[in-house]
Structure 1
Amino acid sequence: MSSLTSDPNQTDVNTIIRPPYFFISGFIAIPDMNYYYIFLCFVYIISLVGNTFVMTGIYVDRSLHSPKYIAVFNLAFTDVCESTALVPKLLDMFLFSRQLISYDQCLTSLFFVFLFITMQSFNLTILSYDRLVAICYPLRYHMMITHRSMLQLTGAAWAFAVLMVLISVCLITRLSFCRSLVINSYFCDHGPLFRLAAPCSNVVPNIAMSEINPCIVLYLPMIFIISSYICITHALFTVTLPQDRLRAIKTCTSHLILVAIFYLPIIFTYSLYSIIPTNARIINLSLTSILPPMLNPIVYVLKTEEFKVSAKKMLRRGAQRAVTQVKTT
């Protein structure tokens, strides 16, 4: 487990050593984590049910077939995919002690987990742009935010996210792993993975990519969102009627909560990465990965008036169908 060769200096510099497997340390060294899988199961079920409910509501209710809800649908879809890419493997490690993961499976897991986390950030940025145009340029909203423009924006975000994550994965494939195969994380995390190859390979491009990715995925979107809300706040001061101002604030509340849930914990953890103990970092990052997909649909159902009306319609229709089926049987 600790090494593949006795002396990495004896290996051919042109030979890439790809191990058959890695060992994900996960939560093994963290005390009192034996029943964490119960929490994971709860979070995963709520994430699947909640986001599926949001996607179904948007698909069924024609009143929600607006450009804004294309981004909301995409966020719910991303949340389902992210939870599915991450939580089942965590449960497998807890319930069956399967800490080993093959080289190909590790890179595949890395690709999809980072892809969906990246898309979460981009989706929140797109929703911020929607709110910015809606409040600051209300008369031009239907010209600037159309179904076509939103689909193009979302498609461009997906393409850019795939390209970014693919570059990170490709940079991993050029590395040789000739010593430790233990990944000190709860999944095939990019940083802990490429650092395993540091004694045997040139990891400078990987380090550069690990510095660039947070800037593009976290800090630039966060700067745009903050700038958007500065403009929105300025625009709200020009609104004369209090009820109009209150209505505009309510439309931003759900988005601001989603932004806080996603960005604040992860930026805090990455900013203090070097001083946070490994066990605390693993727990913090696992929570920042699995909680937003669970909380996002709850926030939208509870905080968005349009969706609350749609949810009540769906539940009413479901109850009526259940009653009808009972009567027919």
Structure 2
Amino acid sequence: MLFPSRTMENYTYNSLTLQLEGLKVTKTTKYPVFLFLLLAYVFILVANVSIVVLICTERSLHQPMYFLFCNLSVNDVMGNSLLVPRVIADVLVPPSERLINYYECLMQAFTTHMFGTNAHTVLMIMAFDRYVAICNPFHYTTIMSNKMVIKLTISAWGVAFVLVAILLGLTIRLNRCRTVITNPYCDNASLFKLSCENVLINNIYGLTFTVVLLTASIGSILLTYTNITAVCLTSKNKSLNSKALKTCSTHLCLYLIMLVSGMILITLHRFPQYSDYRKISAILFNVVPGSLNPIIYGMQSQEIRKSLSNVFQYIMNKNIKR
């Protein structure tokens, strides 16, 4: 346990009450920001939950591709539900009153890093599914069995959990001498910046974590898409090529949205002078993928569109009969 020295007598050590700096909003902008975030959050909930319910209830959608996509929707709902409501509430509160308990802050940090890491691992297993479907179609049902889908899902969530648990474990061991979180919500970087101790190990692991995750993620995407492209170029099957183009373009679009939004946030963390832009990008990192994923996947998938059409027709016919 560290004790304050004369040069640090005004510092508060290991306080359980922290202050969130939050978004800088004026009296004229706070209500539009509040409304935007509220509508975005409601849309994320409705769209993603609807996709999951539709996939689980429609027999025609009981395929590995759609079950794996459910992981992305569940991740979007969990990630946004534990972060965005707090940010929305803080918009209407003066900065001095944006207080958060240390343990709640840890939960927020764990959630935001699980959200980002899990998005990578889920999209990696989805890439593997597309690779098997296009490059080895005759053995697809054998390889992508229910047991394999469960194993891939557990692997995606398990790897993310272990990586993030170590990341935050290294931060929890540090003593804190500051209380202000310079972010709209808590994350690992904001937490270890509260310490006056040496955070070299945290920086090394954080950098290694990011490099390993991005290398594995980008590498798997490049590898699978290179093989898929080679198969499509050598194949004269127009139906196969058309299906590959549709499913792969959707998956690649989801991946690029997540990758770009994450890279912008990581880059802005290295430039303190752009803190306001970093805060906005931190919110958009959660909101943008969560909003666009169900739209892009839902609109691109003919099976999902057909199922949605059947549901709407059923509702309309039921209302007409009444």
Q: Same fold (TM over 0.5)?
A: yes
Which of the residues 209, 217, 221 maps onto 1:221?
217
Instruction: List aligned pairs for 1:237-316, cutoff 5 A.
Output: 237-271=233-267, 273-275=269-271, 277-316=274-313
Tell me, yes or no, if the aligned pair for 1:25 and 1:99 is still in contact at 8 Å.
yes
Query: Could you tell me which residue of structure 1 aligns to residue 207 of structure 2?
Result: 211
Tell me, yes or no, if the aligned pair for 1:253 and 1:303 is still in contact at 8 Å.
no
Tell me, yes or no, if the aligned pair for 1:27 and 1:33 is still in contact at 8 Å.
no
Tell me, yes or no, if the aligned pair for 2:22 and 2:91 is still in contact at 8 Å.
no
Query: Could you tell me which residue of structure 2 aligns to residue 126 of structure 1?
Result: 125
Which of the residues 182, 185, 200 maps onto 1:187?
185
Tell me, yes or no, if the aligned pair for 2:262 and 2:285 is still in contact at 8 Å.
yes
SS at match of 2:92: helix
SS at match of 2:18: strand
Partners of 1:70 and 1:64 in 2: CA distance: 8
Instruction: List aligned pairs for 1:1-329, cutoff 5 A.
Output: 5=4, 7=6, 17-28=13-24, 33-34=29-30, 35-97=32-94, 98-178=97-177, 180-197=178-195, 199=196, 201-271=197-267, 273-275=269-271, 277-324=274-321, 327=322
Tell me, yes or no, if the aligned pair for 1:222 and 1:263 is still in contact at 8 Å.
no
Q: How high is the sequence identity, in percent, across the aligned residues?
A: 28
Once the two structures are TM-superposed, the CA of residue 281 in structure 1 deviates from its matched residue by 1.7
Tell me, yes or no, if the aligned pair for 1:75 and 1:120 is still in contact at 8 Å.
yes
Please give the per-residue CA displacement for 1:85-107, whole angstroms capped at 9, x wherever unaligned. Answer: 11001011012344110111111
Which moves more between the two structures, 26-35 or 187-196? 26-35
Once the two structures are TM-superposed, the CA of residue 118 in structure 1 deviates from its matched residue by 1.6
Tell me, yes or no, if the aligned pair for 1:55 and 1:76 is still in contact at 8 Å.
yes
Query: Is the alpha carbon distance of 1:228 and 1:31 closer, same or farther for their aligned partners in structure 2, counting shifts above 3 Å?
Result: farther
Tell me, yes or no, if the aligned pair for 1:57 and 1:314 is still in contact at 8 Å.
no
Partners of 1:226 and 1:33 in 2: CA distance: 42
Partners of 1:190 and 1:32 in 2: CA distance: 32
SS at match of 1:296: helix
Query: Is the alpha carbon distance of 1:261 and 1:31 closer, same or farther for their aligned partners in structure 2, counting shifts above 3 Å?
Result: farther
Tell me, yes or no, if the aligned pair for 2:79 and 2:111 is still in contact at 8 Å.
yes
Which stretches in structure 2 are left out of the alignment for 5+ residues?
none
Which stretches in structure 1 are left out of the alignment for 5+ residues?
11-15
Which moves more between the two structures, 315-324 or 35-44? 315-324
SS at match of 1:277: helix
TM-score normalized by the length of structure 1: 0.88
Partners of 1:95 and 1:30 in 2: CA distance: 10
Aligned length: 315
Query: Could you tell me which residue of structure 2 aligns to residue 13 of structure 1?
Result: none
Partners of 1:193 and 1:233 in 2: CA distance: 43
Tell me, yes or no, if the aligned pair for 1:17 and 1:175 is still in contact at 8 Å.
no
Please give the per-residue CA displacement for 1:114-143, whole angstroms capped at 9, x wherever unaligned. Answer: 212221221111111111111111122112
Partners of 1:41 and 1:117 in 2: CA distance: 21
TM-score normalized by the length of structure 2: 0.90
